Amino acid sequence: MNKIVVPITSKKFYEEKDKQDIKNKIDIISNKYGKIIEEVSKLEYLPANIIKSFIFIESGGDENATNGEAVGLMQISPLTVVEVLYYEYKYKRMSKEEEDYLIKYIGRDKYNDIKSKAKLRMKSSYLTSDLIKKPELNILFGTMYLSQLFDRFTENEIVQIHKIVTAYNAGLFSKTLFKVNNIDINEIENKINKINKTTANYILKLAGTNGLLTFIV
């Protein structure tokens, strides 16, 4: 798997002293969900450290975390899953290996119903919060979403993490997405100054100085 290059801004959310505590918490996530993360990482061609970092920020590793409609380790909602699956099928991204994985954890009949509805951008009655809260499915759907975003917002092999974070929080086609025409780190820093604090902090937690992507492997 090719290394993903993410520009790191000089701004920061975490201090140097926070890093060991974060590593300890990431180790807990790895010990509990590492096998799932590694399998999904291979299915979605996204490095495991990216998946672990999003799990840490989204839920702190709590598989029962709930925030409105968003649930689980990667805080995914049923409607987001519908959108993700819709684009997987529309653009023929869904592999046989991914389908086999989903059938394993959902069952063939339920999966076929979810698939047929998602192709029409409709939600199957089987696609419940309880279902997508399961770690095996939550991590897959969340990473599938991230994989779509990384493909969309990677230019010249460099990731525009600010756009990915905004889209993950606000939706794939949110009107709040940045209008950045290059990956100059100074422009990214300027954008951070202009957006809401929650999203700005999320970007810095990942790609700021002392951010997770600078030391989580």
* pLDDT 10s digits, 193-212: 667 788 889 989 998 999 99
**Which SS3 state, helix, strand or coil, does residue 77 take?**
coil
User: How far apart (Å, rounded) are the C-alpha atoms in residues 96 and 46?
Assistant: 17
User: Half-sphere exposure of residue 181, counting CA atoms within 13 Å on the CB side?
Assistant: 0
Read off the pLDDT of residues 14-47 as tens digits, 9 standing for 90 and up. Answer: 999 999 999 999 999 999 999 999 999 999 999 9
Structure confidence at residue 159 (pLDDT) = 82
Residues 6+ apart with CB under 8 A from 71: 65, 77, 129, 132, 133, 138
Residue 44 CB coordination number (10 Å): 23
Structural domain spans, the chain: 16-35+46-59+69-214
Among 152, 150, 134, CA closest to 76:
134
Structure confidence at residue 177 (pLDDT) = 42
User: How far apart (Å, rounded) are the C-alpha atoms in residues 136 and 140?
Assistant: 6
Cα 101 from chain centre:
18
Structure tokens at 198: 């929650």
Structure confidence at residue 179 (pLDDT) = 41
- Asked if 41 and 143 touch (Cβ cutoff 8 Å), the reply is yes
Structure confidence at residue 190 (pLDDT) = 67
Within the chain, which residues score under 50 in pLDDT? 173-183
User: How far apart (Å, rounded) are the C-alpha atoms in residues 3 and 159?
Assistant: 11
Label residues 135-159 b or e (16+ Cβ within 10 Å = b): bbbbbbbbbbbbbbbbeebbeeeeb
Among 116, 157, 180, 156, CA closest to 165:
180
Give φ, ψ of 208 to 5 degrees.
-85, 175
- Asked if 188 and 181 touch (Cβ cutoff 8 Å), the reply is no
Structure confidence at residue 184 (pLDDT) = 54
**pTM surpassing 0.75?**
yes
Among 158, 153, 113, CA closest to 131:
113
The total number of residues written for the chain in this structure: 217
Structure confidence at residue 43 (pLDDT) = 98
